[in-house]
Structure 1
Amino acid sequence: METSHRDYLFSMLYHYCSLLSLILSTAMHILIIFFSNYHPIYHLILTFITLLFHRFFSAPQIHVIDFSCLKPEKHLRVPIASLLEHFNLVKRFDKESITFMTKVITSSGIGEETYLPPSLRLIPVSPTHEDTIQESHMLFFPTLDELFAKTKVLPQEIDLLVVNCSGFCPSPSLSSIVVNRYNMRSDVKSYNISGMGCSAAVLGIDIANRFLMRRRERAYALVVSTEIVSVGWYNGKDRRKLLLNCLFRMGCAAVLLTNQRQTGTLQPKYLLTHLLRTQNAYDDSAYNSASREEDDEGITGFSIQRHIGKAVADLVTSHLRLLGPMILPWEEKLKYVMYRLLHKKYVPNFVKAMKHLCIPSSSQTLIKTVGKGLGLHENALEAVLATFHRYGNQSSSSMLYQMAYLEAKGKIKKGDRVLQLGIGSGLKCNSLVLVCVRDFEIDLKDNPWGDCLHQYPACMH
């Protein structure tokens, strides 16, 4: 909390200094008008001073250079029929549990091309610590190799590393695994985030944003988001915990950020303009809606309560009350105020505030609940529904798979705004807004949708 408070004060100092430079510049212009008879040399001096103030006292803009998403190896693909057969073969589930999981999977909207790690394909399923470490290698290394190759940034140039994985927190940490593999510098700042669910990707970018804003020289921050699904596998009978077996799949994404507008010959893709974090953990209903716990037989699993839909709706509503004034156009703000004065309900049109939306691909039901709360039609949810169908629930990395889908479809153009809205256990809601700063060509070989893009969105129906 103390560090966060210092960062906030540091950021505010930048803004106040920028305002002070504007006031001083205006005052000096007035003095010139009245006392200098518009001599050109005074204007040149004033311009130089203004630029100097802007250089040293304005907050740097944070850009996303690029990102990459893992496409797992084909031999890890798990068609629905194979997964249902696997449930029967492991001999750990009773008939009622198998019937329940079958119903959930076949009605969930998940497709035939999702992936599970090798440890969950064994009979019986009993992932060891070594299995989960190997799974982290399968997730991290191909994703980061691709990102470093695309951006031409060396691992030794990274100044900050943030790795988030909700369910697995080993020692040495996951961030240490990355530092060791890529032989990063001894002074690289590394953070490891756990237990934050689907909201962790935005949290990681928030940490990167605060770090980069304090650096005057060029700096790079790397944020890696994933989930180790082996540790989430549940062998018991509690239906609230069986949902993870049905919906969670392999996925990993990495984002490279910088505090410079241009890095060598490579221009960033996106500018970070807004970032907001809220939570309802103080409310017992929200706090208990999703948690990791033991069942009556002592088997540990992640429980999802029936009331989570309402808890998420309340959380998103409270979050949007704060986010709306930051991003909505003036006409929508006025409409909202007028309806409130008339004691009528009005859902602002967030489509006017952003071109694209990325939310956690948790399940079709939750996706549509959040979409309804934002006043969006199903067409606006194409990217998230396609991601859930093709890759399942990938926790915090899913929003970047949606970005990759939008890029592959050619839907993101220069000037478009993208809203990423992450919702995690606790409950907490984190969001950020990115603005596309240039047009770019997409190489489908480096895109996780490259070989199946032609099937979407038709195959979802």
Structure 2
Amino acid sequence: MSIRAKVAGIGHYLPQRVVPNAEFETTLDTSDEWIRSRSGIERRHFAAEGETTSMLAANAAEAALKDAGLEASDLDALIVATSTPDLTFPSAATMVQARIGMSGGFAFDVQAVCAGFVYALSTANAMIVSGQAKRVMVIGAETFSRIMDWTDRATCVLFGDGAGALILEASEGAGTSADRGILSVDLHSDGQFRDLLYVDGGVSTQSTGHLRMEGKEVFRHAVEKLAKTATAAMEKAGVTSEEVDWVVPHQANIRIINGTAKKLGLPMERVVVTVQDHGNTSAASIPLALSVGKAEGKIKQGDIVVTEAIGGGLAWGAVVLRW
């Protein structure tokens, strides 16, 4: 027998304010048609004034606990993947821990930008498989609206705010691809591509900064690297593309999602797409899409799900799991 980290519950939260593409037409030389045709995005959510990343994360956490039928005290650990924490320290995760009434266990943040949730899922999986924890909540939460340059029409229309939370718990498996839980993980990064996607500020440089992106270059790397990491993860799991029920990709751009699915030889009917409603929510995008996919009756128990993401660093990776 082997230990697997299986999904026990999932939930998400989106800020109340919905921002349609048309809202940008008054301040930028852009249009709804221009944004849709290049990104597939139709609207996104922005956090209210005073609404922080840890608040979004805590709301998603409560929804995941409810879905799992668990209490905060049932958790051994809590990991928040974010690039937009409330404060320099303490971690957003410890703030979520306090908000949901989790007095035991431990909490920390993971920072791998848009690949953050995949990295955090990998970390939680390793803790469960090694016996360090039995039940871990993994949250992706972002308020990217706080780091936008509102004069840069190439970037500010692409991002949104939100949070998604998933609970993993230890389960016994046979060690085959028939097991429920995380079947494989594949992670990569390459720091030489730093200048393709970054924020031009931070604590050590004594400024908050704004997001900067070389869109064409990021696109070129994204499709190739996402298809490769997803394929590698599937090979590690002993799963073929025919066996995959759902691909739940990082929701950055519909053209990247389409291109990656094509390279994987998977029809778009088997891809969960939420980019039109959320925009790019960075580390929150995969758990948001997983939660929406489950709520819509797409993702069901026993389904094989492939998630893949790429973000600043560049950092990228994929996880294969049986729901």
Q: Normalization by structure 2: what TM-score?
A: 0.84
Question: Is 1:292 aligned to residue 199 of structure 2?
Answer: yes
Deviations 1:177-203 (A, max 9, x none): 1122233234x2222122x12211111
Please name the residue that 1:175 is paired with: 93
Structure 2 CA distance for aligned equivalents of residues 364 and 251 of structure 1: 19
Q: Which has the larger radius of gyration?
A: 1
Q: 1:213 to 1:362 in 2, by over 3 A?
A: same
Please name the residue that 1:227 is paired with: 142
Structure 2, unaligned runs of 5 or more = 174-178, 202-206
Are the equivalent residues in 2 in contact too, given 1:69–1:253 (CA < 8 A)?
A: yes
Are the equivalent residues in 2 in contact too, given 1:417–1:433 (CA < 8 A)?
A: yes
Are the equivalent residues in 1 in contact too, given 2:5–2:170 (CA < 8 A)?
A: yes
Question: Is 1:379 aligned to residue 269 of structure 2?
Answer: yes
- Using CA pairs below 8 Å that are at least 6 residues apart, which structure has the higher relative contact order? 2
The residue identity in structure 1 corresponding to 2:257 is I
Structure 2 CA distance for aligned equivalents of residues 173 and 320 of structure 1: 30
Q: Percent identity?
A: 19
* Aligned-residue CA RMSD (Å): 2.8
Deviations 1:302-360 (A, max 9, x none): 1221311222234235435633532456xxxxxxxxxxxxxxxxxxxx53141110111
Please name the residue that 1:210 is paired with: 126
Are the equivalent residues in 1 in contact too, given 2:57–2:140 (CA < 8 A)?
A: no
The residue identity in structure 2 corresponding to 1:307 is E
Deviations 1:256-277 (A, max 9, x none): 1111359xxxxxx952111121
Q: 1:178 to 1:409 in 2, by over 3 A?
A: closer
1:435-446 pair list within 5 angstroms = 435-436=322-323
Q: 1:412 to 1:233 in 2, by over 3 A?
A: closer
Q: Which has the higher strand share?
A: 2
Structure 1 CA distance for aligned equivalents of residues 299 and 268 of structure 2: 18
Are the equivalent residues in 1 in contact too, given 2:21–2:31 (CA < 8 A)?
A: no
Aligned match for 2:305, one of 412, 415, 418: 418
Q: Normalization by structure 1: what TM-score?
A: 0.61
Please name the residue that 2:42 is paired with: 111
Please name the residue that 2:158 is paired with: 247
Q: 1:78 to 1:235 in 2, by over 3 A?
A: closer
Aligned match for 1:326, one of 236, 255, 258: 236
- Please state whether the residue corresponding to 1:419 is helix, strand or coil: strand
Please name the residue that 2:223 is paired with: 313
* CA deviation after TM superposition for structure 1 residue 165, in Å: 0.8
Are the equivalent residues in 2 in contact too, given 1:202–1:431 (CA < 8 A)?
A: yes
Structure 1 CA distance for aligned equivalents of residues 306 and 114 of structure 2: 15
Q: 1:256 to 1:320 in 2, by over 3 A?
A: closer
Deviations 1:62-112 (A, max 9, x none): 111011011433xx1223323433x3xxxxxxxxxx214766425332224
1:61-210 pair list within 5 angstroms = 61-73=4-16, 76-85=17-26, 87=27, 98-100=28-30, 104-107=34-37, 108-112=39-43, 114-119=44-49, 131=50, 134-168=51-85, 170=87, 171-186=89-104, 188-194=105-111, 196-210=112-126
Q: Which has the higher helix share?
A: 1
Structure 1, unaligned runs of 5 or more = 1-57, 88-97, 120-130, 263-268, 330-349, 437-461
The residue identity in structure 1 corresponding to 2:194 is Y
Structure 2 CA distance for aligned equivalents of residues 156 and 317 of structure 1: 39
- Please state whether the residue corresponding to 2:252 is helix, strand or coil: coil
1:445-460 pair list within 5 angstroms = none
Deviations 1:223-262 (A, max 9, x none): 11111123222144xx4xx433201112101111111359
- Please state whether the residue corresponding to 2:67 is helix, strand or coil: helix
* CA deviation after TM superposition for structure 1 residue 151, in Å: 2.1
Structure 2 CA distance for aligned equivalents of residues 117 and 394 of structure 1: 12
Structure 1 CA distance for aligned equivalents of residues 68 and 32 of structure 2: 43
* CA deviation after TM superposition for structure 1 residue 291, in Å: 1.5
Are the equivalent residues in 2 in contact too, given 1:63–1:261 (CA < 8 A)?
A: no
The residue identity in structure 2 corresponding to 1:111 is E
Deviations 1:416-437 (A, max 9, x none): 211011212122221111113x
Structure 2 CA distance for aligned equivalents of residues 299 and 253 of structure 1: 25
Please name the residue that 1:334 is paired with: none
Aligned length: 310
Are the equivalent residues in 2 in contact too, given 1:101–1:243 (CA < 8 A)?
A: no
